[in-house]
Structure 1
Amino acid sequence: MATRRGRGRPPGESDARARIAAAAVHEFGEHGYDGATVRGIAARAEVDAALVHHYFGTKPDLFAEVTQFPLRPDLEVPRILRGPREEAGERIVRFVLESFERPEVRKRGVIVLRTAISGKLTAPLVKGFLSRELLPRVAAELDAPDAALRASLVASQIAGMLIARYVVQLPGIADAPVDELVARIAPTIQRYLFE
């Protein structure tokens, strides 16, 4: 008589998610964001690549989860750019600042910013993620021959603002209300995007 399998996980797969996450950390660390592949992560975890997708979705989803990056700018910023063009700079700055004002986002965001600046392993990961997943998506929303440069200028302004406010905590910018920073920084972002 054949044994019926019950619902749930296949036998032996109870720790697969944890093995995949650990393998992803190693692969991203050894090969950077661009060099790490879902197949390589699956091979290291000794699972099928389909299981990686089952548990984590796409490579950017997996990266965001294992680094515990608190925001998904690769998804949010392109959506923001599809709104009214004349308000894009304001919407981007407000989205980032209001997100970082939430304690759970700020805590993890500051860790990611600090390690991206000083970490030999982390810097290539963040650069790879931004270069592969965020900047091309922003550039694709812009109708300009220098769209890649414009997207990078926006990223540099936002990164500088976050580092000054939340990491270095420069006087003035660290204490300024979100609305004031939005009013002062948004026109620069708007200019980088469209002027």
Structure 2
Amino acid sequence: MSSEDTTVRRRGRRPAGQDTRSALVDAARAVFAENGYERATVRSIAARAGVDAAMVNHWFGGKEGLFVQAVLKLPFDPAALVDTLRAGPADELGSRIVRMFLTRWDGAGGDTFQALIRSIASHEQAATVLRDFFSQFIADLLGDTGVDRQDLRVSLCASQLVGLGITRYVARFRPMVAAEIDTLVGAVAPTLQRYLTGAID
């Protein structure tokens, strides 16, 4: 490798700036997923991306800005899914929600969910994003169903889905990671359905 090639690699110069930016976002998502916000460092993220650490400040203004782009922007728009999930029998809503949750996070690789969970203790905005995601999303789904105690139902649904996400994407319990989506839908959906529309007293 020539000295010029070495310099290019060390400084993280790529054919287009957007490539460097995307590489940093992808690397940051992985590092935040592994370490959480507090323990992740700009140096480790830059090393994972194969660029100079100065590029983090150049593109994102620092670690916080990179965290916002890599983690706090969810890989899908929950609001866009509400109408689709509500289009079907009310007594099958739990099944549709669990299937959507697993399909979307499986498709995103689970890194964003891991990063959120690992960061909530040290980054208040991460906790806020997670709370807002579930509270608004489930509340919108309950909408005009007329069920009582909606705030409690939202929290109960969140406890079920967050637990599912932690065991599959963060703690990575082997049976949960290996399980097919259909299997998990069949096992988890009845509980979620009760939280949504059943008796909770």
- What TM-score does the superposition give when structure 2 sets the normalisation length? 0.56
Q: Say if 1:153 and 1:101 are closer, same or farther in 2 by CA, change over 3 A.
A: same
In structure 1, distance between residues paired with 2:145 and 2:134: 16
Over 6 Å off, 4+ runs: 63-66
In structure 1, distance between residues paired with 2:118 and 2:125: 9
> What is the RMSD computed on CA atoms of the aligned residues?
2.6
In structure 1, distance between residues paired with 2:137 and 2:69: 13
In structure 2, distance between residues paired with 1:99 and 1:88: 16
In structure 2, distance between residues paired with 1:132 and 1:64: 22
Residue aligning to 1:173: 176
Aligned-residue offset at 1:93:
0.2
- Find 2:155's aligned residue among 135, 149, 152: 152
> What letter matches 1:156 in structure 2?
S
What are the residue-to-residue correspondences of 1:12-91 with 2, within 5 Å?
67-77=72-82, 79-91=84-96
Query: For the Cα contact (< 8 Å) 1:94–1:182, is it kept in 2?
Result: yes
Aligned-residue offset at 1:153:
0.7
Aligned-residue offset at 1:135:
4.4
Aligned-residue offset at 1:109:
2.5
Structure 1, 151-160 or 138-147: larger mean CA deviation: 138-147
Query: For the Cα contact (< 8 Å) 1:140–1:147, is it kept in 2?
Result: no
Query: For the Cα contact (< 8 Å) 2:85–2:141, is it kept in 1?
Result: no
Q: Which runs of 5+ in 2 are unaligned?
A: 1-67
> What letter matches 1:101 in structure 2?
D
Query: For the Cα contact (< 8 Å) 1:115–1:122, is it kept in 2?
Result: no
- Find 2:132's aligned residue among 123, 129, 133: 129
Query: For the Cα contact (< 8 Å) 1:80–1:88, is it kept in 2?
Result: yes
Aligned-residue offset at 1:160:
0.6
Residue aligning to 1:111: 115
Say if 2:196 is the partner of 1:193.
yes
Structure 2 counterpart SS, 1:174: helix
Residue aligning to 1:55: none
**Deviation by residue 1:29-52 (Cα, 9 ceiling, x = unmatched):** xxxxxxxxxxxxxxxxxxxxxxxx
In structure 1, distance between residues paired with 2:131 and 2:175: 32
> Aligned residues, how many?
131
In structure 2, distance between residues paired with 1:179 and 1:132: 25
In structure 1, distance between residues paired with 2:134 and 2:180: 30
> What letter matches 1:147 in structure 2?
Q
In structure 2, distance between residues paired with 1:132 and 1:187: 20
